[in-house]
Amino acid sequence: MKNFAYARAENVGSAIQSITQLQNAKFLGGGTNLVDLMRENIEQPDHLVDLTALPLAQVEELSDGGMSIGALVTNSHLAAHPLIRARYPVLSEAILHGASGQIRNMATTGGNLMQRTRCYYFYDTHARCNKRAPGTGCDALEGFNRMHAILGASEACIATHPSDMCVALAALDATVQVTGANGKRAIPLVDFHRLPEDTPQTDTNLQPDELITAVELPALPCARHSRYRKVRDRASYAFALVSVAAALEVKDGTITQARLALGGVAHKPWRAFAAEKILVGAPAGEDTFKAAAAEELKVARGYQHNAFKIELARRTMMSVLTTLAHEGGAR
């Protein structure tokens, strides 16, 4: 690992001041991804600005019934929070299906959003990768692309976003609260991460001077009835091949509210808006779920080793929606 200069930020203002004034500086949270990437020489910052002393580690109820999750709340603490478990169980489940106990204790909410892809070719500095070294090409396109994207990919990059937590946040209409040199703004989670297009080196729409301070969840009664399902190559501690976050509200057999998002399939957490349109107002049953999944996957494209993901995504959506409908979405 290349050496760097270390500074601990005392408040949000000084953190932003440091990141704008220092050359080639990066924010440091729990370090679980950044330290690993620095050790592999994929990230080579000259300065790290440690955020962990900032007062951003609270989970708070908002006056409108929503929740605010500080950027430094650890994955473990968020997943275990009683109000999150009761009101947004899909979020607890998603977090608990990611990483390991040790990593969830270190990893922060803001850092989870900023995770970089786990594409093998991104990690292999001898491989061509437009995300790591723009303009060099993409070895995943013709390579071993089992874990790669089936939705929203480009000829420049077929990497996937690795987060489980973000898939639940995408389904829950979360917003990312950020502060920059010119003030604060809120970015809908679904617009926070980017599709690769021809600039896959840019993962998010966060500006270089901006710091994530919190993630906010709106009051969302249908989220009380929500689930996360993750399909992977081993039972625990593996990245998703496909995952599904869903919430469903059913009244008199008709779907009145639906939230659906997919993980492991795209460069960003994939909110299934097309499927939701089919679901809402339709009878809660197999035909509806089938039509919704088919609509969402109409634009899916498989590569040599990951075409199975299209069928897997369809079945996983069907399974989660069927479970939610049976479990008492019909109240």
Of 94-102, 110-118, 141-149, 195-203: span binding another protein (CB under 8 A): 94-102
Q: Nearest approach, Cβ of 320 to another protein (angstroms)?
A: 15
85 binds another protein (CB under 8 A): yes
Q: Nearest approach, Cβ of 259 to another protein (angstroms)?
A: 17
Q: Binders of another protein among 104-123, rule CB under 8 A?
A: 105-106
Q: Binders of another protein among 254-313, rule CB under 8 A?
A: none
Q: In the numeric block, which tokens belong to residue 96? A: 């608990």
Cβ contacts of 44 within 8 Å, gap of 6 or more: 2, 24, 38
Q: Nearest approach, Cβ of 153 to another protein (angstroms)?
A: 26
Q: In the numeric block, which tokens belong to residue 144? A: 């071993």
Cα atoms in the 13 Å half-sphere on the side-chain side of 187: 21
Residues 279, 291: Cα–Cα separation, whole Å = 8
Does an H or E element contain 32, and which? none
Give 93 or 276: the residue with its C-beta nearer to another protein: 93
Q: Binders of another protein among 137-196, rule CB under 8 A?
A: none
Give 45 or 70: the residue with its C-beta nearer to another protein: 45
Give 36 or 295: the residue with its C-beta nearer to another protein: 36
79 binds another protein (CB under 8 A): yes
Q: Nearest approach, Cβ of 280 to another protein (angstroms)?
A: 26
Give 20 or 102: the residue with its C-beta nearer to another protein: 102
Give 79 or 113: the residue with its C-beta nearer to another protein: 79
Q: Nearest approach, Cβ of 79 to another protein (angstroms)?
A: 7
Give 121 or 192: the residue with its C-beta nearer to another protein: 121
**Per-residue contact string for residues 11-50; x = within reach of another protein by CB under 8 A:** -----------------x--xx--xx-xx--------x-x
Q: Nearest approach, Cβ of 104 to another protein (angstroms)?
A: 9
Long-range Cβ contacts of 98-101 (<8 Å, 24+ apart): 98/163, 98/164, 98/165, 99/32, 99/75, 99/237, 100/237, 101/76
With b for 16 or more beta-carbon neighbours within 10 A and e for fewer, the 218-255 pattern comes to eebebbebbbbbbbbeeeeeebbbbbbbbbbbbeeeeb
Q: Is 165 helix (H, G, I), strand (E, B) or coil?
A: helix
Task: Figure out which of the listed residues 9, 26, 72, 97 binds another protein, where binding follows CB under 8 A.
Answer: 97
Cβ contacts of 117 within 8 Å, gap of 6 or more: 131, 159, 160, 161, 162, 203, 267
- Closest listed residue to residue 33, CA positions, set 24, 42, 20: 42
With b for 16 or more beta-carbon neighbours within 10 A and e for fewer, the 290-313 pattern comes to eebbebbbeebeebeebeebbebb
Task: Figure out which of the listed residues 21, 24, 63, 236 binds another protein, where binding follows CB under 8 A.
Answer: 236
6 binds another protein (CB under 8 A): yes
- Closest listed residue to residue 217, CA positions, set 173, 261, 185: 173
Task: Figure out which of the listed residues 11, 20, 44, 100 binds another protein, where binding follows CB under 8 A.
Answer: 100
Give 92 or 306: the residue with its C-beta nearer to another protein: 92
Q: In the numeric block, which tokens belong to residue 322? A: 């069927």
71 binds another protein (CB under 8 A): no
Q: Which residues bind another protein (CB under 8 A)?
A: 1-6, 28, 31-32, 35-36, 38-39, 48, 50, 52, 76, 79-80, 85-86, 89, 92-93, 96-97, 99-103, 105-106, 235-237
